[in-house]
Every structure is written in C-alpha cells, then in structure tokens.
Amino acid sequence: MVNPLRQLRDQGQSIWYDNIERAMLLDGRLLKMVEEDGLAGMTSNPTIFAKAIANDPSYKEGLAALLRESPGLDEKALFYRLAIDDIQHAADILRPVYEKSGHQDGMVSLEVSPELAHDTDATISEAKELVSLVDRPNLMIKVPATQEGIPAVEALIALGIHVNATLLFSVARYEEVAAAYTLGLEARLRQGLPVDDIASVASFFVSRVDSKVDAALSKRLEQASSASEREAIESLFGRAAIANAAIAYMVGKERFDSERFAALKEAGAKSQRLLWASTGVKNTAYSDVLYIEELIAENTVNTVPPATYDAYRDHGKPALRLQANVADAAQILSRISDLGIDLDDITETLEQEGVRQFSESFSELLNTIAASKQALAIGQAS
C-alpha cells in the first residue's frame, strides 16, 4: 500500500509535524517518519512544549543537569535551554531534508516568547538571540503575526533569518505578512545581500475558524423560520475555514506571480509558502482528515498534529482539491456574511485569543519548570 503522506509530496505539498517531544528524537521515531512518511519539517509552540515538559520524565533529568551546571538560571532561561536541545536534535535529524529540498523544507520552528507578541523590538532581539543559540541553518523562527509582529517579520527577513509568521486567521493579515516578506527581501537586495537562501511560511489557521463560525451558524439556525432557510444555513457548516484558506491561497499566488516579485525570483528568492495550521478536526461530525484533504495544493505546507497525522497515513486520499474550492469560496463567505456573521470580527477575536492562549501556556510551562526546580531542591536537601 502506498503511504498517503508520501503521496502528498507528489501533489507539491510538504507535510510537517505539529509536535515535538524528546522521546521521539531519541527513540528513532522522528527519523522513521522522515524515511517512511516523507516528513519534511516540524513546528512547535508554547502549548506543545508545555505538554511535553509536563509529561516526559526525561525533561526533569535535563533540568536537574542544567541546575547543577548553572544554578542561577531562571525559569525562562531553563525552558529555552531545554527547548534548544530538542530543536537542535530535531534540526540535525532533518538536515538531509533541508539540503535535498534546496533549503526550503527540513525546517524546525521555534517561537519567540508569546509575551512579546505586541513588542516589535523585543521580538526582533529575542529572535536574533535564539538563532545564535540554536546555531542550525534549518531553524525557522516563529513570530506571531500581530500588528506589531508584521514589522518584525520584515526586519528578520532582511537579516536573512527564516521566519514562520504564525497565528494568521484573516486574508487581510496574511496580505500584510506576504508584503512584509517581500519588503524584507527587497531590503536585502538593495544592500547587495543574497536572497536565494531564505525560506518563510505564513501559518494560516483553519479549524478554529470553523469552530467560531459554526457556533454563530448554530445560533442563526435557532432563529430560522422555514425549512428552506434551515437547509441553507446547514449547508454552510464546516465550510468557512476552507473557503477562507482558498481565498488566501489565490491572494498568495497573485502576489508571488506578480511582476514585482519577479525581480526577486530572478535573484533566486523563493515564494513564501502558506502553511495550513490548526488542522486537527475539532468537530467529530466532520472527517478526521478534512483539513488535509481539502487543502491540498501545490507549493503549500500542512503542519499536522499527531492524531491527524496517523489518521491520514491510515486512510488519506491525496488529490489536488484546494483549487476546486476556490470557485465557491467567495460565495460561501458572502452567504455567511448575509446571515449577519462578521468574519473579520471573528478572525480578529481568534488572533487575540491565540496570543492569549499561547501566553497562558507559556506561563503554565514556566510554572511547571518552577515546580520541578523546587522539587529538585527539596530532594537535594533531604
């Protein structure tokens, strides 16, 4: 049986893994996924690391070693030391993919502190520090694409740093990110610096959009006064996120196929790829591989959480489908708008919630490290 995950590469889409944990780096699972599934990258975020550090005993051993070596490190410094070890190990395993792909895949993403999401200068400073500490060419720095994050994306690209602009929910914000990427490359070109070895993705979140829109549709359904009205509303469930993504895809194609970007392409620049994020299905009424199947398109990435990854390996049916969704996308979103559901308001709320959730996860992570640090201290004293 042909592995559906491997087949996605033939469709022009790269599959990255939306998870990282120390055990999979040490027991050979990551290498096996690369070799058997064609896995082409990894993404991480504060929530992922919080779960890993809380549940994997090997992190406590690493923490104890760090404290013996540098007892004065605070919780944030300890976290980054633990995370950097994992990121370096994963980057080394994925390095052959990075080289074989012309330095476009084989990336491992590490996010700047979410507490800096509204501080441009601090984001740039921490990103530069992380690049120096990790010291791997296939590191990609994740930057929340808030209003303050957009100029940070531009500045980091201008510095030659691979950037994953994350927490994108709206097409308008994606356009800002794509523009920032272009401006950063143009700044390098003006300085006579190379642009051919810079990779960037724009992480466009999917399932959370459907969760919000479906909730609004449910309320509207309760108010429906006829069977035909109910049928019209019901036909929109589970369709907003894919329509939103399809429009973003066409916007990206237009920008990176434009005359303006042609000059950068001549200098060797790569298009910034859309990366579909939040692709685990939250509504059990939908196919468990919905946000992979319907988002397959050339020159894109899908970062997939563990359960969805396993499900797609088991019963995925790869075929280019996103282009077909483009035709109906504008009409679907128009019909949702006609029902009084404001997608712009929803996506703005999702961005705010995303930053807050990652910040809360980061705080929980630091609290977990503080508790482990205290337990180790008590154990040493007894």
Task: Report how far residue 195's alpha carbon sits from residue 171's, in angstroms, rounded to the nearest whole number.
Answer: 25
Structure tokens at 26: 């040490």
Q: How far is CA 256 from CA 114, 186, 252, 302, 308, in A?
A: 29, 13, 6, 19, 30
Handedness of CA 121, 123, 126, 128 (dihedral sign): negative
**Closest-CA residue to 179 (of 87, 261, 107):** 261
Structure-derived torsion over alpha carbons of residues 317, 323, 325, 328, reported in degrees to the nearest 10: -160
Quickly tell me which residue has 């070799």 as its tokens. 35
Q: Under a CB-based contact definition with an 8 Å cutoff, are residues 157 and 198 in contact?
A: yes
Task: Report how far residue 304's alpha carbon sits from residue 276's, in angstroms, rounded to the nearest whole number.
Answer: 8
Neighbours of 27 (CB within 10 A): 10
Q: Under a CB-based contact definition with an 8 Å cutoff, are residues 6 and 40 in contact?
A: no
Q: Under a CB-based contact definition with an 8 Å cutoff, are residues 110 and 63 in contact?
A: no
Task: Report how far residue 224's alpha carbon sits from residue 199's, in angstroms, rounded to the nearest whole number.
Answer: 48
142 given a catalytic annotation: yes
Task: Report how far residue 165's alpha carbon sits from residue 146's, in angstroms, rounded to the nearest whole number.
Answer: 9
Task: Report how far residue 301's alpha carbon sits from residue 29's, in angstroms, rounded to the nearest whole number.
Answer: 21
Tell me which DSSP letter residue 280 carries: S
Q: Point out the catalytic residue in the list 51, 60, 142, 265.
A: 142
Q: What are phi and psi of 295, to 5 degrees?
A: -115, 20
Q: Under a CB-based contact definition with an 8 Å cutoff, are residues 143 and 127 in contact?
A: yes
Structure tokens at 283: 């509504």
Structure tokens at 336: 């949702």
Beta bridge partners of 13: 300
Q: Which residues are catalytic?
A: 142
